[in-house]
Amino acid sequence: MTDHPLDSLYATLLARRGADPGKSYTAKLLAMGPERIAKKVGEEGVETALAGACGTAEELVAESADLLYHLALLWAACGVAPDAVWQALEARTGRSGLEEKASRPKQ
């Protein structure tokens, strides 16, 4: 792992596995499973979007931090390491966003 703040957060989240859910919000969410964590990611995503659209910069910062926390927790719950995400982003570097989207399989 690198010294990226999200890598550090991810390591902390992994360390909280098995902690007492009565004393750790992270442990509580991990015990609830990926479905509950995914719901929190959705909720935080909406709150972040609303803060960006009609909130203050401070609200956007706070909601962004909440969103990144819950996203990293979802990665941890699903066994996805941040490095896999960084590699996916790196693979897109230098490509047009339109080109990259067009290359994805149709669903």
Report if residue 107 sits inside a domain: no
The pLDDT score that the predictor gives to residue 27 is 97
Report if residue 96 sits inside a domain: yes
Residue 24 belongs to domain with CATH number: 1.10.287.1080
Return d(Cα 18, Cα 76) in angstroms, integer. Answer: 13
Burial class (CB in 10 A: 0-12, 13-18, 19+), 31: middle
The pLDDT score that the predictor gives to residue 102 is 80
Mean pLDDT along residues 60-83: 98
Mean pLDDT along residues 82-87: 95
Q: How many structural domains compose the chain?
A: 1
- The boundaries of the domain holding residue 97 are 5-102
Report if residue 28 sits inside a domain: yes
Report if residue 20 sits inside a domain: yes
Return d(Cα 83, Cα 67) in angstroms, integer. Answer: 18
Return d(Cα 56, Cα 58) in angstroms, integer. Answer: 5
Q: How confident is the model at residue 1 (pLDDT cuts 50, 70, 90)?
A: very low
